[in-house]
Amino acid sequence: MGKTCLVTGAAGLIGSEVVRHFSDIGYDVHGIDNNQRAIFFGEAGDTRWNRDRLLREVKGYRHYELDIRDRSAILDLFKDLRPSVIVHTAAQPSHDRAAAIPFDDFEINAVGTLNLLEATRRYCADTPFIHMSTNKVYGDRPNLIRLKELPTRWDYDDPTYAHGISEEFSIDQSKHSLFGASKVAGDVLVQEYGRYFGLPTCCLRGGCLTGPAHSGVELHGFLSYLVKCNLEGTLYHIYGYKGKQVRDNIHALDVARFMAAFANQPRSGEVYNLGGGKNNSCSILEAFTMVEKLTGRKMNYDYIDQPRMGDHICYYSDLRKMKAHYPGWDIRRNLQDTMVEIVAAWQTRF
């Protein structure tokens, strides 16, 4: 029997890239996705186009319109499938949206994750379980780091963080947003199933995950939405911090490649800060400049002098632990190349 990979959130940005990558490296791939993104964000967040593309283009791909909150359906699927690798990317992904749908947010991000973990423990306890967490588990604590203001960005003014935020950074005693809190719950559960039950699990605390398959909307999908606004001439809102707030950006393929590296050499209860690192970071203002050079169109934007709740002023990931554990992995798609791909993808969709 061949190797089988089960991907939740399979029609999303990371999920779809994982489907393609694991298929390319020899897995039979099965995906779970019930298009909740369209419910969270409306028509602009719909991912059925991506699901249909996977069904057309990925040989042997099987898709399940399941809700990860449906415990009995998840248990039944795991009992039958017993996958060789599980990649969990399904989530309610917006900290802004979570406040309006707190029950849905927690049930998807925390309870849904528990359903998947328990199904794994019962039916395939030796299977690597890879969980797409978020840097929002750190809450607003990164904003307590001493910063310096530069012409187009904020940056750390403390040598402790010269390489970015490491996995040793505290997640405690900070404001997370309800989204951040529900993701903390899921993150800790994944760690605990590794540490307590010995399952091979890891949490990947992502920064800005991006790429051409993203259905970016204002509440989720920084670079994708910014490019979309530029091409359409739509008004882009900057919320606070002078537009100098910084994010690191990592291409979805580099995320999928790290997941494959972990699946090949799994560990138990691990945590990794998975982002682009300082070299692939940018502020909103810097992203404007990059996209304007690529499209020849000026950004149409305004400024709202009120930051989003719990928003990071500056965040980029310290990648040293990841590279130490998996020295064969490194980032292959830099920020400039990624922006080129996103622009091209949106141009073909208009």
Domain count, the chain: 1
Instruction: Tell me the per-residue pLDDT of 312-334, one tens digit each, with 9 for 90 and over.
Output: 999 999 999 999 999 999 999 99
Per-residue confidence (pLDDT) for residue 134, from 0 to 100:
95
C-alpha distances (whole Å) from 137 to each of 108, 132, 172, 334 are 16, 12, 9, 25
Per-residue confidence (pLDDT) for residue 94, from 0 to 100:
83
pTM over the 0.85 mark: yes
Q: Are 135 and 273 in contact (CB under 8 A)?
A: yes
Per-residue confidence (pLDDT) for residue 1, from 0 to 100:
60
Per-residue confidence (pLDDT) for residue 44, from 0 to 100:
80
What phi and psi values does residue 324 have, to the nearest 5 degrees? -70, -40
Instruction: Tell me the per-residue pLDDT of 13-69, one tens digit each, with 9 for 90 and over.
Output: 999 999 999 999 999 999 999 998 888 888 888 889 999 999 999 999 999 999 999
Spatial neighbors of 24 by CB under 8 A, at least 6 apart, are none
Q: Domain range spanning residue 281?
A: 4-349
User: Average pLDDT of the chain?
Assistant: 95
Report the CATH number at residue 34. 3.40.50.720
290 compared with 94, residue with greater pLDDT: 290
